[in-house]
Structure 1
């Protein structure tokens, strides 16, 4: 058998009546870092495809193993039998076990001999069964080599370009929007959208990011757990009299004179210092603030704004500001 990197470590074939159990297995496998083909995880990929051809390809060529959940319901379904035929075509070509039977009951399935080893699911929890699948995979040397290759790629990935397009509700490009990508470890990347509304980033580490977008004429935008593997488009709807800003350590907010500086205290509360600016009518500083809760700031010229912190991590703050109170 040739060494091959499969798209999926395991594909799950089952009848809809057994979905509750199988879904727990699928979730447990995903938590364990196993690439699993489970239909509800693939709704976007399946949308609009010729399912007959696409599923044949999955079960015949793109999974390292297939777990076949045997039950009386399975035998009655058109699609499950189509999947079974694809699996058996693959099994016939390879000199190793590929179909891994798991039984809810003693139903006979065409082409699956009673002498083939199987797992009895009676009194076995979905998480326990997922653990057995993981052990089976770890005995497969090609699986282990694939995992090591993936780990090496994560350690030393090839840099790539991630692009965010920022437009308004009229589908017009928004220029000079500040865009910041913040990783879980509080490291960040900064950029601005160009005349086409595009902000480009060179990604050198495989991480999930929180995406922050701010512009003097538009409210703040925040998206969590963004995978930079695919470019995204963001639409911002203008809100009269509102704008937003991203601060790094400290900075100024349009409409009011002076600098503000948010800090994270030892109890994980956020406090705000303001230079020559009154907070909430002159409250003692540093003033404790809450995310998504508006506060009033006033400078020495009598200018006042409502400020709402939408995000704060490390030294990066995303802030909405407005002359009237923000929700």
Structure 2
């Protein structure tokens, strides 16, 4: 029987020895808003249940797709083979692909033909596999309609407060950190951490965000694909001589006089204007730059800093800086 309203978008079937890789995939899928059956996410549900019957139901009826992580370990496990039999019973009933095999090695699995298309995990990071799974799901029209319906509900949801706690490597609270949430559509929300190391944000439309954190005494920190449904704690580590700054359209960098303005060029590259500041010894402006590559800036007082952009989207940039050391 075809089900258009599955409890899970994907179920992950794997051997415990391969958990480290699979857990990264599960976490990435979860951040993307994909409903994933992964055993450690389900400890409360699994507690006390007849696992033989419950897992049969999951792998046969409750997931849109199953990702089968093939390895030598998988073939030797009792539970994974029970999961496989349940998947194959489902696949037999449907005229579309349901079992999506991915391989750590060339182990043969009963019932999985060598001619079935698979993904070679030796060529894919966990994040890259998660992106492929998301792409596969988006081709399923019932999944697409469900996601659109869910998005519409989220847009109309009541505003709520999302908080980020910032501490250093010694577990000390970090105040006055500049924190920016940047959505995929380049809209953003700004805040600063208070005396308790907390930055609070009013979320009116739930989206996935890139979190940028800057502080004059700490290097830049960024996290991608953060879902604001739960508060988070971030540890930042101090590096002597380094600071970081968020530039919104244009701004100043501590330790040097004058303003800078990063821009995105029409060819998708980046360039930098600087007011009364020489870039790389006097290069013509706007001066091209690349993310994660250092530029030198010198003001009219001879102060020199090295600036490295870590992120730039819309008009929001995140950069590290350090003062030039004289020889």
Q: TM-score interval w.r.t. the shorter chain?
A: 0.5 to 0.7
**2:6/2:62 contact within 8 Å kept:** no
Residues 49, 10 of structure 1: alpha-carbon distance in 2 compared, 3 angstrom cutoff = closer
Matched, 1:53 2:43: no
- The residue number in structure 2 matching 1:236 is 236
SS in 2 for 1:53: coil
Q: How far did residue 65 of structure 1 move?
A: 3.0
Partner Cα separation in structure 2 for residue 304 and residue 75 of structure 1 = 61
1-structure distance, mates of 2:192, 2:60:
41
Q: Secondary structure at the match of 1:152?
A: helix
CA deviations 1:192-215 (Å, max 9, x no partner) are 111111111122223221110001
Q: Which residue of 1 aligns with 2:264?
A: 264
Partner Cα separation in structure 2 for residue 266 and residue 318 of structure 1: 20
Q: Is 2:96 aligned against 1:100?
A: no
Alignment of 1:6-45 (within 5 A): 7-8=7-8, 11=11, 35-37=35-37, 42=38, 44-45=40-41
Maintained 8 Å contact 2:304/2:324: no
Deviation at 1:77, TM superposition (A): 5.9
Give the whole-Å Cα distance in 2 for the aligned partners of 1:263 and 1:146. Answer: 37
* Counterpart residue number, 1:255: 255
Post-superposition shift, 1:147?
Answer: 6.1
SS of 2:49 mapped into structure 1: helix
Structure 2, unpaired ranges of 5+: 69-73, 94-110, 120-132
- Cross-structure match for 2:62: 65
Asked if the contact 2:207/2:227 (under 8 Å) is kept, the reply is: yes
1:279 aligns with 2:279: yes
Unaligned 5+ residue runs, structure 1? 88-98, 104-119
- Asked if the contact 2:61/2:90 (under 8 Å) is kept, the reply is no
Bigger CA drift: 307-316 or 224-233? 224-233
Q: Over aligned residues, Cα RMSD in angstroms?
A: 4.3
Cα deviations by residue, 1:252-295 (Å, 9 ceiling, x for unpaired): 11111111111111112211111111111222111111111111
Which whole-Å CA distance do the structure 1 matches of 2:206 and 2:321 have between them? 33
Question: Aligned equivalents of 2:250 and 2:156: distance in 1?
Answer: 34
* 1-structure distance, mates of 2:170, 2:160: 30
Secondary structure of 2:185's aligned partner: coil
Q: Answer whether contact 1:12 1:36 (CA < 8 A) is retained.
A: yes
Q: Does 1:172 align with 2:172?
A: yes
Per-residue CA deviation, residues 120-177 of structure 1 (Å, 9 max, x unaligned), is 86555469xx9xx98xx989xxx99966752431442332222111110110110010
Q: Could you report, residue by residue, the CA deviation over 1:207-243 in whole angstroms, capped at 9, with x for unpaired residues? A: 2211100011111111112222222211111111211
Q: Report how far residue 82 of structure 1 moved.
A: 7.3
User: Which whole-Å CA distance do the structure 2 matches of 1:145 and 1:304 have between them?
Assistant: 54
Q: Match for residue 321 of structure 1?
A: 321
**Higher Cα Rg, which structure:** 1
Question: CA, structure 1 residues 285+320, in 2 after alignment: closer, same or farther (shift >3 Å)?
Answer: same
Q: What is the SS of the residue equivalent to 1:255?
A: coil
Distance 1:241 1:60, change over 3 A: same
Normalised to the residue count of structure 2, the TM-score between the two structures is 0.65
Aligned residues: 267
